[in-house]
Structure 1
Amino acid sequence: MVRKLKFHEQKLLKKVDFINWEVDNNLHEVKVLRRYHIERREDYTKYNKLSRNIRDVAQKIRDLDEKDGFRAQSTHRLLEKLYSIGLIPTRQNLSLTEKVSASAFCRRRLPSIMLKLRMAQNLKTAITFIEQGRILLTKLIIWDFNLLFFRNMEDFVTWVDSSKIKQHVLNYNDERDDFDLIA
């Protein structure tokens, strides 16, 4: 139980909103944290800082002379890196870097990748599967759902061999081996 506030405390807290601070303007932040089920606010601030740094680097590249060979080379390298990470959809234009945000990093986390691969119906169940140790990356069981995945890593996310879900999927697709029935 919380004690009843005294008169002067009530008067001080009359205009305070603990959810939406005017100084921070964190309503968008709270929405992103809820949408992607991010538990630690530090992760979101890290993603936000990274996206801001990417936009700053892109702006510095844009400020260079258009005829400069270094500008073309650094533009190509930046776009290639962002595309391979999965933060931008294509490698066409430097203006795509303006759309890189903290949400783009959140979409590269393992639960979002599992939704994309249709391994789970929602983020909550995807996080549950990861915490239970049902997800395999190549030969390693993944327990941390905060991992960021590159585009080329998506193909290697599978179910653990002993998982009931994998057995149900194999039964449904008529791909289950008779040797697996013995084990």
Structure 2
Amino acid sequence: MIPKMVKILKQMDPKDLFRVDMIDKLLEKLYKCGVISTRQSITLCERITVSSFCRRRLATVLVPLKFAEHLKEAVTYIEQGHIRVGPETLTDPAFHVTRNMEDVTWLDLSKIKRKVLQTAV
């Protein structure tokens, strides 16, 4: 879908104000979603795949943040209500984590949080 849109935008006149505006909006939106790393080039949008979006799912984000060793364990923690994103407790492992929502922490009442703090001391 997005690569098709990029192809159409690239076919338009580079000086067209509509094209410039749409490219800026597309790059900004994809950057805020965390799908692309920078807002510099439209060529980044051509390489977007489904896995680019899957890498921003809450369960997938927890593994590199060392909240869980494996994806299955991360899904279990989320479904049991141990994870908080910003002020909200989430129970959906497929929740899309944007750049604005990267404040992922343990729930204050979580037994896992207490156990992690005990082992850290």
TM-score (norm 2): 0.90
- Structure with higher RCO (Cα < 8 A, 6+ apart): 2
- Determine the structure 2 residue equivalent to 1:162: 109
1:132 aligns with 2:83: no
Cα displacement string for residues 68-97 of structure 1 (whole angstroms, at most 9, x for unaligned residues) = 222222111111110110111111110111
Unaligned ranges ≥5, structure 2: none
- Determine the structure 1 residue equivalent to 2:62: 114
Amino acid at match of 1:97: C
Offset of residue 126 of structure 1: 0.3
For 1:135 and 1:144, the matched residues in 2 are separated by 10
Q: Within 5 Å, give how 1:15-164 maps onto structure 2.
A: 53-155=1-103, 157-164=104-111
Which ranges of 4 or more aligned residues in structure 1 deviate by more than 4 Å? none
For 2:110 and 2:31, the matched residues in 1 are separated by 33
Aligned-pair identity in percent equals 44
Unaligned ranges ≥5, structure 1: 1-52, 175-183
Amino acid at match of 1:54: I
For 2:87 and 2:17, the matched residues in 1 are separated by 43
* Superposition CA RMSD, Å: 1.5
- Secondary structure in 1 aligned to 2:101? helix
- Secondary structure in 2 aligned to 1:116? coil
Cα displacement string for residues 138-175 of structure 1 (whole angstroms, at most 9, x for unaligned residues) = 333211111111111012x211112122123334555x
Task: Indicate the structure (1 or 2) with the bigger Cα radius of gyration.
Answer: 1
